[in-house]
Structure 1
Amino acid sequence: MGGVQSGRRARGMMVAGFALAVTLGLGACAEMTQILQQSGAGVAGGSNQSALTRAVKESLELGSTRAADLLSKTGGYQNSSLYRIRLPEPVQPIASRLRQFGLGGQVDQIEKLMNQGAERAAVEAKGVFINAVRAMTITDAMGIVRGSNTAATDYFRQHTEAQLRQKYLPIIQNNLQQIGFYKQYQQLLSAYKQLPLTNKPDLDLEQHVLTQSLNALFTQVGEEEKAIRKDPLGRGSSAIAAVFGR
Protein backbone atom coordinates (compact mmCIF):
# COMPACT_ATOMS: atom_id res chain seq x y z
CA MET A 1 0.00 0.00 0.00
CA GLY A 2 2.78 2.38 0.99
CA GLY A 3 4.53 1.56 -2.29
CA VAL A 4 1.44 2.42 -4.30
CA GLN A 5 1.04 5.76 -2.50
CA SER A 6 4.73 6.54 -3.01
CA GLY A 7 4.35 5.80 -6.72
CA ARG A 8 1.33 8.08 -6.98
CA ARG A 9 3.14 10.86 -5.19
CA ALA A 10 6.12 10.45 -7.54
CA ARG A 11 3.88 10.55 -10.60
CA GLY A 12 2.06 13.59 -9.18
CA MET A 13 5.35 15.39 -8.64
CA MET A 14 6.42 14.54 -12.19
CA VAL A 15 3.16 15.85 -13.64
CA ALA A 16 3.39 19.02 -11.55
CA GLY A 17 7.01 19.53 -12.56
CA PHE A 18 6.16 19.01 -16.23
CA ALA A 19 3.26 21.49 -15.99
CA LEU A 20 5.53 24.06 -14.33
CA ALA A 21 8.18 23.58 -16.98
CA VAL A 22 5.63 24.00 -19.76
CA THR A 23 4.24 27.16 -18.11
CA LEU A 24 7.71 28.66 -17.70
CA GLY A 25 8.63 27.67 -21.21
CA LEU A 26 5.53 29.29 -22.70
CA GLY A 27 6.18 32.42 -20.68
CA ALA A 28 9.74 32.57 -21.93
CA CYS A 29 8.59 32.09 -25.51
CA ALA A 30 6.02 34.86 -25.15
CA GLU A 31 8.64 37.15 -23.66
CA MET A 32 11.09 36.37 -26.45
CA THR A 33 8.43 37.00 -29.08
CA GLN A 34 7.68 40.36 -27.50
CA ILE A 35 11.38 41.28 -27.45
CA LEU A 36 11.74 40.34 -31.10
CA GLN A 37 8.69 42.36 -32.03
CA GLN A 38 9.88 45.38 -30.09
CA SER A 39 13.30 45.18 -31.69
CA GLY A 40 11.73 45.18 -35.13
CA ALA A 41 12.60 41.57 -35.91
CA GLY A 42 9.05 40.30 -35.55
CA VAL A 43 8.31 36.59 -35.52
CA ALA A 44 9.77 34.20 -37.99
CA GLY A 45 6.98 34.70 -40.53
CA GLY A 46 8.03 36.34 -43.77
CA SER A 47 4.93 38.53 -43.87
CA ASN A 48 5.98 40.39 -40.71
CA GLN A 49 9.48 40.92 -42.05
CA SER A 50 8.10 42.13 -45.37
CA ALA A 51 5.81 44.59 -43.60
CA LEU A 52 8.72 45.85 -41.52
CA THR A 53 10.89 46.29 -44.61
CA ARG A 54 8.14 48.17 -46.43
CA ALA A 55 7.66 50.51 -43.46
CA VAL A 56 11.39 51.19 -43.16
CA LYS A 57 11.68 51.85 -46.90
CA GLU A 58 8.72 54.20 -46.74
CA SER A 59 10.27 56.15 -43.87
CA LEU A 60 13.63 56.38 -45.64
CA GLU A 61 12.07 57.57 -48.87
CA LEU A 62 10.04 60.19 -47.02
CA GLY A 63 12.95 61.53 -44.99
CA SER A 64 15.46 61.58 -47.83
CA THR A 65 13.17 63.19 -50.40
CA ARG A 66 12.12 65.86 -47.89
CA ALA A 67 15.76 66.69 -47.26
CA ALA A 68 16.57 66.81 -50.98
CA ASP A 69 13.50 68.96 -51.72
CA LEU A 70 14.39 71.41 -48.95
CA LEU A 71 17.97 71.94 -50.10
CA SER A 72 17.29 71.90 -53.86
CA LYS A 73 14.78 74.74 -53.78
CA THR A 74 15.96 78.26 -54.57
CA GLY A 75 17.78 79.56 -51.51
CA GLY A 76 17.91 76.13 -49.91
CA TYR A 77 21.58 76.68 -49.11
CA GLN A 78 22.01 80.40 -49.75
CA ASN A 79 19.27 81.51 -47.34
CA SER A 80 19.91 78.88 -44.67
CA SER A 81 21.58 79.89 -41.43
CA LEU A 82 22.69 76.27 -41.01
CA TYR A 83 23.73 75.21 -44.49
CA ARG A 84 24.93 78.34 -46.29
CA ILE A 85 28.28 77.56 -47.89
CA ARG A 86 30.97 80.16 -47.34
CA LEU A 87 34.48 80.45 -48.75
CA PRO A 88 37.02 78.03 -47.28
CA GLU A 89 38.39 79.08 -43.91
CA PRO A 90 41.94 79.76 -45.21
CA VAL A 91 40.46 82.17 -47.79
CA GLN A 92 38.40 84.16 -45.30
CA PRO A 93 41.21 86.63 -44.39
CA ILE A 94 41.67 87.40 -48.10
CA ALA A 95 37.91 87.85 -48.51
CA SER A 96 37.86 90.27 -45.58
CA ARG A 97 40.63 92.35 -47.14
CA LEU A 98 38.77 92.42 -50.46
CA ARG A 99 35.68 93.72 -48.68
CA GLN A 100 37.79 96.47 -47.11
CA PHE A 101 38.84 97.56 -50.60
CA GLY A 102 35.26 97.72 -51.83
CA LEU A 103 35.22 94.33 -53.54
CA GLY A 104 32.63 92.75 -51.27
CA GLY A 105 30.21 92.41 -54.18
CA GLN A 106 32.59 90.08 -55.99
CA VAL A 107 33.07 87.98 -52.85
CA ASP A 108 29.29 87.73 -52.39
CA GLN A 109 28.89 86.71 -56.03
CA ILE A 110 31.37 83.86 -55.61
CA GLU A 111 29.55 82.58 -52.52
CA LYS A 112 26.22 82.92 -54.34
CA LEU A 113 27.48 80.76 -57.20
CA MET A 114 28.82 78.21 -54.71
CA ASN A 115 25.44 77.89 -53.02
CA GLN A 116 23.48 77.85 -56.26
CA GLY A 117 25.68 75.00 -57.47
CA ALA A 118 24.89 73.03 -54.31
CA GLU A 119 21.16 73.68 -54.74
CA ARG A 120 21.18 72.51 -58.36
CA ALA A 121 23.19 69.43 -57.46
CA ALA A 122 20.77 68.52 -54.66
CA VAL A 123 18.11 67.84 -57.31
CA GLU A 124 20.10 64.71 -58.21
CA ALA A 125 19.98 63.36 -54.67
CA LYS A 126 16.34 62.28 -54.72
CA GLY A 127 16.77 59.69 -57.47
CA VAL A 128 19.95 58.30 -55.92
CA PHE A 129 18.25 57.93 -52.53
CA ILE A 130 15.18 56.22 -54.01
CA ASN A 131 17.36 53.68 -55.84
CA ALA A 132 19.24 52.97 -52.59
CA VAL A 133 15.94 52.40 -50.79
CA ARG A 134 14.70 49.98 -53.44
CA ALA A 135 17.92 47.97 -53.17
CA MET A 136 17.59 47.61 -49.40
CA THR A 137 17.36 44.09 -47.96
CA ILE A 138 15.38 42.80 -44.99
CA THR A 139 18.62 42.58 -43.02
CA ASP A 140 19.35 46.24 -43.79
CA ALA A 141 15.86 47.25 -42.66
CA MET A 142 16.07 45.33 -39.39
CA GLY A 143 19.47 46.86 -38.67
CA ILE A 144 18.01 50.34 -39.13
CA VAL A 145 15.10 49.66 -36.76
CA ARG A 146 17.47 48.37 -34.10
CA GLY A 147 20.04 51.09 -34.70
CA SER A 148 20.56 54.63 -33.47
CA ASN A 149 18.43 57.66 -34.30
CA THR A 150 20.54 58.18 -37.42
CA ALA A 151 20.95 54.56 -38.52
CA ALA A 152 19.07 55.25 -41.75
CA THR A 153 21.23 58.30 -42.47
CA ASP A 154 24.36 56.24 -41.87
CA TYR A 155 22.99 53.66 -44.33
CA PHE A 156 22.44 56.36 -46.94
CA ARG A 157 25.90 57.81 -46.48
CA GLN A 158 27.50 54.40 -46.84
CA HIS A 159 25.55 53.43 -49.97
CA THR A 160 25.12 56.74 -51.83
CA GLU A 161 27.93 59.18 -51.03
CA ALA A 162 30.31 57.99 -53.75
CA GLN A 163 27.59 58.14 -56.41
CA LEU A 164 26.39 61.53 -55.20
CA ARG A 165 29.92 62.93 -55.44
CA GLN A 166 30.10 61.83 -59.09
CA LYS A 167 26.76 63.47 -59.88
CA TYR A 168 27.36 66.64 -57.87
CA LEU A 169 30.85 67.55 -59.09
CA PRO A 170 30.10 68.45 -62.75
CA ILE A 171 27.08 70.52 -61.68
CA ILE A 172 29.14 72.42 -59.12
CA GLN A 173 31.97 72.89 -61.63
CA ASN A 174 29.59 74.22 -64.25
CA ASN A 175 28.15 76.74 -61.84
CA LEU A 176 31.55 77.96 -60.62
CA GLN A 177 32.70 78.51 -64.20
CA GLN A 178 30.51 81.61 -64.19
CA ILE A 179 33.11 83.26 -61.92
CA GLY A 180 35.02 85.75 -64.06
CA PHE A 181 38.48 84.58 -63.01
CA TYR A 182 37.65 80.86 -62.80
CA LYS A 183 40.27 79.72 -65.33
CA GLN A 184 42.98 81.84 -63.73
CA TYR A 185 42.03 80.50 -60.33
CA GLN A 186 42.30 76.91 -61.56
CA GLN A 187 45.75 77.62 -62.99
CA LEU A 188 46.92 79.13 -59.72
CA LEU A 189 45.41 76.23 -57.78
CA SER A 190 47.22 73.69 -59.99
CA ALA A 191 50.56 75.43 -59.36
CA TYR A 192 49.78 75.75 -55.65
CA LYS A 193 49.11 72.00 -55.32
CA GLN A 194 52.55 71.24 -56.76
CA LEU A 195 54.40 73.35 -54.21
CA PRO A 196 56.53 71.17 -51.87
CA LEU A 197 54.93 72.52 -48.71
CA THR A 198 53.68 70.61 -45.68
CA ASN A 199 50.27 71.16 -44.08
CA LYS A 200 48.99 73.17 -47.03
CA PRO A 201 45.41 74.40 -46.52
CA ASP A 202 42.95 73.12 -49.12
CA LEU A 203 41.95 75.99 -51.41
CA ASP A 204 40.02 73.91 -53.96
CA LEU A 205 36.62 75.64 -54.25
CA GLU A 206 35.01 72.75 -56.13
CA GLN A 207 35.91 70.15 -53.55
CA HIS A 208 35.00 72.56 -50.76
CA VAL A 209 31.50 73.11 -52.17
CA LEU A 210 31.11 69.40 -52.86
CA THR A 211 32.01 68.38 -49.31
CA GLN A 212 29.96 71.12 -47.66
CA SER A 213 26.89 70.46 -49.78
CA LEU A 214 26.91 66.72 -49.06
CA ASN A 215 27.53 67.26 -45.35
CA ALA A 216 24.48 69.53 -45.27
CA LEU A 217 22.41 67.00 -47.21
CA PHE A 218 23.16 64.11 -44.86
CA THR A 219 22.71 66.32 -41.82
CA GLN A 220 19.22 67.25 -43.03
CA VAL A 221 18.42 63.60 -43.80
CA GLY A 222 19.41 62.86 -40.19
CA GLU A 223 17.08 65.58 -38.91
CA GLU A 224 14.21 64.15 -40.94
CA GLU A 225 14.94 60.67 -39.62
CA LYS A 226 14.93 61.87 -36.01
CA ALA A 227 11.60 63.63 -36.60
CA ILE A 228 10.03 60.46 -38.02
CA ARG A 229 11.31 58.33 -35.15
CA LYS A 230 10.00 60.86 -32.63
CA ASP A 231 6.57 61.19 -34.26
CA PRO A 232 6.21 58.27 -36.69
CA LEU A 233 2.50 58.75 -37.23
CA GLY A 234 2.53 62.53 -37.64
CA ARG A 235 5.68 62.63 -39.76
CA GLY A 236 5.17 59.28 -41.46
CA SER A 237 2.23 56.91 -41.68
CA SER A 238 0.38 54.24 -39.72
CA ALA A 239 2.69 51.58 -41.19
CA ILE A 240 5.76 53.50 -40.05
CA ALA A 241 4.21 54.06 -36.62
CA ALA A 242 3.63 50.30 -36.31
CA VAL A 243 7.40 49.77 -36.53
CA PHE A 244 9.02 52.85 -35.00
CA GLY A 245 6.28 53.58 -32.47
CA ARG A 246 6.96 50.49 -30.37
Structure 2
Amino acid sequence: MKRIILLFLVPAFLLSGCDTTQAILGGLPGSTDPNTQQIAAGLKEALTIGTQHSTGRLSAVNGFFSNAAIKILMPPEAQKVESTLRNLGLGNLVDKAIKSMNQGAEEASKSAMPIFKNAILQMSITDAVGILKGGDFAATNYFRDKTTTELTTAFRPVIESALKKVDATRYWNDVFTAYNKFARNPVDTDLSAYVTERAISGIFHEVALEEQKIRKDPAARVTDLLKKVFGNTQGQ
Protein backbone atom coordinates (compact mmCIF):
# COMPACT_ATOMS: atom_id res chain seq x y z
CA MET A 1 0.00 0.00 0.00
CA LYS A 2 2.80 2.43 0.85
CA ARG A 3 4.41 1.71 -2.48
CA ILE A 4 1.17 2.53 -4.35
CA ILE A 5 0.77 5.83 -2.48
CA LEU A 6 4.37 6.72 -3.27
CA LEU A 7 3.79 6.12 -6.99
CA PHE A 8 0.99 8.71 -6.94
CA LEU A 9 2.88 11.24 -4.86
CA VAL A 10 6.07 11.36 -6.96
CA PRO A 11 4.39 12.65 -10.19
CA ALA A 12 2.41 15.15 -8.17
CA PHE A 13 5.59 16.44 -6.58
CA LEU A 14 7.28 16.78 -9.98
CA LEU A 15 4.37 18.77 -11.38
CA SER A 16 4.17 21.08 -8.40
CA GLY A 17 7.34 22.90 -9.49
CA CYS A 18 5.85 24.14 -12.78
CA ASP A 19 2.65 25.63 -14.13
CA THR A 20 0.21 22.71 -14.06
CA THR A 21 -1.94 24.11 -16.84
CA GLN A 22 1.11 24.60 -19.03
CA ALA A 23 2.21 21.04 -18.36
CA ILE A 24 -1.19 19.64 -19.31
CA LEU A 25 -1.14 21.59 -22.57
CA GLY A 26 2.32 20.34 -23.46
CA GLY A 27 4.09 23.66 -22.91
CA LEU A 28 6.71 22.46 -20.45
CA PRO A 29 9.58 24.86 -19.68
CA GLY A 30 12.25 24.63 -22.36
CA SER A 31 9.97 22.89 -24.86
CA THR A 32 10.15 24.15 -28.46
CA ASP A 33 6.86 22.53 -29.42
CA PRO A 34 3.76 24.78 -29.36
CA ASN A 35 0.96 23.78 -27.02
CA THR A 36 -2.65 23.58 -28.16
CA GLN A 37 -3.51 27.10 -27.07
CA GLN A 38 -0.52 28.45 -28.99
CA ILE A 39 -1.55 26.45 -32.05
CA ALA A 40 -5.03 27.96 -31.95
CA ALA A 41 -3.66 31.46 -31.42
CA GLY A 42 -1.13 30.96 -34.22
CA LEU A 43 -3.75 29.77 -36.70
CA LYS A 44 -6.04 32.69 -35.86
CA GLU A 45 -3.17 35.11 -36.22
CA ALA A 46 -2.19 33.58 -39.56
CA LEU A 47 -5.73 33.76 -40.89
CA THR A 48 -6.11 37.33 -39.70
CA ILE A 49 -2.90 38.39 -41.43
CA GLY A 50 -3.75 36.44 -44.57
CA THR A 51 -7.26 37.82 -44.92
CA GLN A 52 -6.12 41.36 -44.20
CA HIS A 53 -3.51 41.15 -46.94
CA SER A 54 -5.92 39.48 -49.35
CA THR A 55 -8.86 41.82 -48.88
CA GLY A 56 -6.53 44.80 -48.90
CA ARG A 57 -5.14 43.86 -52.29
CA LEU A 58 -8.48 42.99 -53.83
CA SER A 59 -10.35 46.05 -52.59
CA ALA A 60 -7.75 48.37 -54.08
CA VAL A 61 -8.27 50.04 -57.46
CA ASN A 62 -8.01 47.34 -60.15
CA GLY A 63 -7.48 44.70 -57.44
CA PHE A 64 -9.46 42.21 -59.49
CA PHE A 65 -9.19 43.72 -62.94
CA SER A 66 -5.37 43.71 -63.02
CA ASN A 67 -5.00 40.23 -61.50
CA ALA A 68 -5.06 37.73 -64.35
CA ALA A 69 -5.67 34.79 -61.99
CA ILE A 70 -8.97 36.14 -60.64
CA LYS A 71 -10.09 38.77 -63.15
CA ILE A 72 -13.83 38.43 -63.69
CA LEU A 73 -14.69 37.78 -67.32
CA MET A 74 -17.96 37.00 -69.03
CA PRO A 75 -19.65 33.82 -67.75
CA PRO A 76 -18.99 30.69 -69.85
CA GLU A 77 -22.58 30.69 -71.11
CA ALA A 78 -22.10 34.26 -72.32
CA GLN A 79 -18.86 33.75 -74.23
CA LYS A 80 -20.71 33.27 -77.50
CA VAL A 81 -22.51 36.50 -76.74
CA GLU A 82 -19.24 38.30 -76.25
CA SER A 83 -17.76 36.89 -79.44
CA THR A 84 -20.85 37.84 -81.45
CA LEU A 85 -20.93 41.39 -80.07
CA ARG A 86 -17.24 41.92 -80.79
CA ASN A 87 -17.77 40.68 -84.34
CA LEU A 88 -20.58 43.21 -84.65
CA GLY A 89 -18.27 46.03 -83.60
CA LEU A 90 -19.61 46.28 -80.06
CA GLY A 91 -16.38 45.28 -78.31
CA ASN A 92 -16.27 48.56 -76.39
CA LEU A 93 -19.61 47.76 -74.81
CA VAL A 94 -18.34 44.36 -73.69
CA ASP A 95 -15.15 45.88 -72.27
CA LYS A 96 -17.17 48.33 -70.19
CA ALA A 97 -19.29 45.50 -68.79
CA ILE A 98 -16.21 43.48 -67.83
CA LYS A 99 -14.53 46.49 -66.24
CA SER A 100 -17.64 47.26 -64.22
CA MET A 101 -18.00 43.69 -62.96
CA ASN A 102 -14.48 43.80 -61.57
CA GLN A 103 -15.07 47.19 -59.99
CA GLY A 104 -18.15 45.75 -58.29
CA ALA A 105 -16.09 42.89 -56.85
CA GLU A 106 -13.45 45.33 -55.63
CA GLU A 107 -16.09 47.38 -53.86
CA ALA A 108 -17.62 44.32 -52.21
CA SER A 109 -14.24 43.09 -50.97
CA LYS A 110 -14.11 46.05 -48.59
CA SER A 111 -16.82 44.42 -46.48
CA ALA A 112 -15.21 40.99 -46.22
CA MET A 113 -12.81 41.51 -43.32
CA PRO A 114 -15.40 41.82 -40.52
CA ILE A 115 -16.95 38.53 -41.65
CA PHE A 116 -13.56 36.85 -41.71
CA LYS A 117 -12.68 38.17 -38.26
CA ASN A 118 -15.89 36.80 -36.81
CA ALA A 119 -15.25 33.38 -38.34
CA ILE A 120 -11.69 33.40 -36.99
CA LEU A 121 -12.86 34.21 -33.46
CA GLN A 122 -15.21 31.23 -33.55
CA MET A 123 -12.47 28.74 -34.46
CA SER A 124 -12.04 26.10 -31.75
CA ILE A 125 -8.75 24.66 -30.47
CA THR A 126 -9.70 21.31 -32.01
CA ASP A 127 -10.27 22.97 -35.38
CA ALA A 128 -6.91 24.74 -35.15
CA VAL A 129 -4.94 21.60 -34.33
CA GLY A 130 -6.63 19.77 -37.21
CA ILE A 131 -5.82 22.60 -39.61
CA LEU A 132 -2.18 22.76 -38.54
CA LYS A 133 -1.76 19.02 -39.15
CA GLY A 134 -3.87 19.06 -42.31
CA GLY A 135 -2.91 19.60 -45.93
CA ASP A 136 -1.29 22.64 -47.48
CA PHE A 137 -4.66 24.36 -47.92
CA ALA A 138 -6.37 23.10 -44.77
CA ALA A 139 -6.91 26.57 -43.34
CA THR A 140 -8.28 27.99 -46.58
CA ASN A 141 -10.59 25.01 -47.07
CA TYR A 142 -11.86 25.29 -43.50
CA PHE A 143 -12.47 28.97 -44.04
CA ARG A 144 -14.27 28.30 -47.30
CA ASP A 145 -16.53 25.65 -45.72
CA LYS A 146 -17.41 27.77 -42.71
CA THR A 147 -17.93 31.18 -44.30
CA THR A 148 -19.03 30.82 -47.93
CA THR A 149 -22.75 30.89 -47.13
CA GLU A 150 -22.39 33.89 -44.84
CA LEU A 151 -20.12 35.68 -47.29
CA THR A 152 -22.58 35.07 -50.12
CA THR A 153 -25.47 36.42 -48.08
CA ALA A 154 -23.47 39.47 -47.06
CA PHE A 155 -21.80 40.04 -50.43
CA ARG A 156 -24.91 39.81 -52.61
CA PRO A 157 -26.50 43.15 -51.63
CA VAL A 158 -23.10 44.84 -51.60
CA ILE A 159 -22.39 43.48 -55.08
CA GLU A 160 -25.81 44.59 -56.33
CA SER A 161 -25.28 48.06 -54.93
CA ALA A 162 -21.74 48.22 -56.27
CA LEU A 163 -22.82 47.09 -59.73
CA LYS A 164 -25.44 49.82 -59.83
CA LYS A 165 -22.91 52.32 -58.54
CA VAL A 166 -20.52 51.64 -61.40
CA ASP A 167 -23.32 51.15 -63.94
CA ALA A 168 -22.41 47.49 -64.48
CA THR A 169 -26.06 46.46 -64.51
CA ARG A 170 -26.77 48.99 -67.23
CA TYR A 171 -23.80 47.85 -69.28
CA TRP A 172 -24.82 44.23 -68.80
CA ASN A 173 -28.37 44.97 -69.92
CA ASP A 174 -27.02 46.91 -72.87
CA VAL A 175 -24.83 43.97 -73.86
CA PHE A 176 -27.62 41.42 -73.79
CA THR A 177 -30.21 43.76 -75.26
CA ALA A 178 -27.87 44.27 -78.20
CA TYR A 179 -27.14 40.54 -78.46
CA ASN A 180 -30.75 39.43 -78.11
CA LYS A 181 -31.68 41.49 -81.18
CA PHE A 182 -29.73 38.95 -83.24
CA ALA A 183 -30.13 35.80 -81.11
CA ARG A 184 -32.66 33.03 -81.52
CA ASN A 185 -32.36 32.14 -77.84
CA PRO A 186 -32.20 35.27 -75.62
CA VAL A 187 -29.75 35.11 -72.72
CA ASP A 188 -30.86 35.87 -69.17
CA THR A 189 -27.99 35.66 -66.67
CA ASP A 190 -28.09 36.74 -63.02
CA LEU A 191 -25.17 39.17 -63.04
CA SER A 192 -25.16 39.82 -59.28
CA ALA A 193 -25.03 36.12 -58.41
CA TYR A 194 -22.25 35.51 -60.91
CA VAL A 195 -20.08 38.41 -59.75
CA THR A 196 -20.69 37.50 -56.09
CA GLU A 197 -19.49 33.94 -56.68
CA ARG A 198 -16.42 35.09 -58.60
CA ALA A 199 -15.59 37.74 -56.00
CA ILE A 200 -15.66 35.19 -53.15
CA SER A 201 -13.67 32.72 -55.23
CA GLY A 202 -11.07 35.41 -55.88
CA ILE A 203 -10.73 36.20 -52.19
CA PHE A 204 -10.19 32.56 -51.27
CA HIS A 205 -7.63 32.26 -54.04
CA GLU A 206 -5.66 35.08 -52.45
CA VAL A 207 -6.14 33.68 -48.93
CA ALA A 208 -4.71 30.38 -50.16
CA LEU A 209 -1.63 32.19 -51.49
CA GLU A 210 -1.14 33.83 -48.09
CA GLU A 211 -1.51 30.48 -46.34
CA GLN A 212 1.18 29.00 -48.56
CA LYS A 213 3.53 31.86 -47.79
CA ILE A 214 3.19 31.31 -44.05
CA ARG A 215 3.46 27.52 -44.32
CA LYS A 216 6.39 27.45 -46.75
CA ASP A 217 8.31 30.72 -46.39
CA PRO A 218 9.94 31.44 -43.01
CA ALA A 219 10.23 35.14 -43.97
CA ALA A 220 6.42 35.37 -44.09
CA ARG A 221 6.14 34.42 -40.40
CA VAL A 222 6.27 37.96 -39.17
CA THR A 223 5.61 37.29 -35.47
CA ASP A 224 7.28 35.06 -32.87
CA LEU A 225 4.06 33.06 -32.46
CA LEU A 226 3.86 32.28 -36.17
CA LYS A 227 7.51 31.21 -36.15
CA LYS A 228 6.90 28.90 -33.20
CA VAL A 229 3.70 27.35 -34.52
CA PHE A 230 4.50 27.01 -38.22
CA GLY A 231 8.19 26.38 -37.72
CA ASN A 232 7.28 23.12 -36.02
CA THR A 233 5.19 21.92 -38.96
CA GLN A 234 8.18 21.57 -41.26
CA GLY A 235 9.14 18.04 -41.98
CA GLN A 236 6.00 16.55 -40.40
TM-score, normalised by the number of residues in structure 1: 0.71
Distance 1:233 1:185 in 2: 47
Deviation at 1:220, TM superposition (A): 1.1
Deviation at 1:78, TM superposition (A): 0.8
Match of 1:225 in 2: 211
CA distance 1:96–1:182, shift in 2 (3 Å): closer
CA distance 1:112–1:181, shift in 2 (3 Å): closer
Query: Does the Cα contact within 8 Å between 1:78 and 1:85 map onto a contact in 2?
Result: yes
How many pairs does the alignment contain?
Answer: 193
Distance 1:141 1:180 in 2: 45
**Counterparts in 2 of 1:203-214, with a 5 A limit?**
203-214=189-200
> Aligned partner of 2:140: which letter?
T
Distance 2:136 2:125 in 1: 19
Query: Does the Cα contact within 8 Å between 2:63 and 2:106 map onto a contact in 1?
Result: yes
> Aligned partner of 1:238: which letter?
D
Distance 2:77 2:175 in 1: 15
Distance 2:133 2:92 in 1: 50
Match of 2:170 in 1: 180
Distance 1:46 1:135 in 2: 23
TM-score, normalised by the number of residues in structure 2: 0.74
Match of 1:44 in 2: 24
Match of 1:155 in 2: 142
> In structure 2, which of residues 108, 120, 127 is the aligned counterpart of residue 140 of structure 1?
127
1:245 aligns with 2:225: no
1:62 aligns with 2:49: yes
CA distance 1:110–1:43, shift in 2 (3 Å): farther
For 1:74, what is the secondary structure of its paired residue? coil
Match of 2:6 in 1: none
> Aligned partner of 1:128: which letter?
I
Distance 2:213 2:93 in 1: 39
In proportion to residue count, which structure has more helix? 1
Query: Does the Cα contact within 8 Å between 2:97 and 2:172 map onto a contact in 1?
Result: no
1:216 aligns with 2:206: no
1:236 aligns with 2:219: no
Distance 2:203 2:228 in 1: 27
Q: Alpha carbon RMSD of aligned pairs, Å?
A: 2.6
Match of 1:32 in 2: none
Identity %: 35
Distance 1:185 1:105 in 2: 10
5+ long unaligned stretches in structure 1: 1-41, 188-200
For 1:44, what is the secondary structure of its paired residue? helix
Runs of 4+ off more than 6 Å: 183-187
> Which has the higher Rg, Structure 1 or Structure 2?
1
